[in-house]
Amino acid sequence: MRNVFLRATFMTIGVILFFSVVFTMVSLWERKADFRREIGYHLRVDQVEQYRPLVEIHAKEHGLEQEVDTLLAIMMQESGGRGDDPMQASESLCGERGCIDHPEQSIAQGIAYFKEVFDKADGDRKLAIQSYNFGVGFVSYALEKAGQYTFDVAVQFSQEMYEKAEDKSLYTCIRKEAREYDACYGDILYVRDVLGYRDLFLSHEKQDVAKVDSQSIK
C-alpha cells in the first residue's frame, strides 16, 4: 500500500515537473519571439523615421503639415521604409510597378497622390488612406454608398473589384480576413493598420521632442 502511494506521489510530482518545464520553455520562446518582433519593429521605425525631414518638406508643399505622421504610417505599411520606392508610388505615377527608382521621387509622388485623394475625400482621413491603397476611384464609390469611409464599404469595393478582375492571379488573399470575405483586391485592413502606425509615430515624435527639451534644459 505504501509503495503504491509513493509511486502515485512520484508520478504526480513528475507530471507537475514536466508541465512546469514545458510551460517555462513556451514562455521563453514567446519572450524571444516578442523580443525579435520588438527589435524588428524598432528597426523599421528608424528606417522610416530617417525620411521624416523629406516627408515634412513635401507635405508642407501640399499643405499637409498635419498629416506627416499619417504619411510616415503609410510608408511603414507599404515598405517599412525599405527600397527605392518606400511609398510604393510607382503605380500612381505610371500605372505599373518599378518606374520609381529613388526614395525622394517616391516620397514626392506618394504625397502628391495622397493630396489628390485627401482633397477628393474632403479631408476624410480614413477615406483618403484607404483610397491610397485602393485607388482614387474608391472615393466616389464610398461617398455614393455611405457618404464616408466604412469598413463594410471597403469590403464591398474589394469584392467587386476582385470579381471584375480579368486576371485574378494578380491579387492574393494574404490576410485570413480577406479570404473569409473573398475580398482580395487591395487591403481591406489598410486603414486599421495605418492608423495604428500613425499613433506609434505620433508617440515616437513626442518622445523625441521630450528628449530634445530635456537636453536643452541640461
Q: Which domains does the chain have, with CATH numbers?
A: 50-217 (1.10.530.10)
- pLDDT computed for residue 7 by the predictor: 64
pLDDT attached to residue 2: 55
Note every long-range contact of 62-71, with CB atoms under 8 Å and residues 24 or more positions apart, other chains counting: 62/111, 62/112, 62/115, 63/115, 64/111, 64/114, 64/115, 64/118, 67/114, 67/118, 67/125, 69/198, 69/201, 69/202, 69/205, 70/114, 70/125, 70/129, 70/194, 70/198, 71/110, 71/111, 71/114
pLDDT for residue 66: 96
Residue 198 confidence (pLDDT): 95
Weakly modelled stretches of the chain, pLDDT under 50:
22, 26-41, 43, 209-217
pLDDT value, residue 214 = 47
State residue 209's pLDDT score: 42
- pLDDT of 176: 86
pLDDT, residue 210, reads 46
pLDDT value of residue 50: 95
- Mean pLDDT across the chain: 83
Say what the pLDDT of residue 44 is: 78
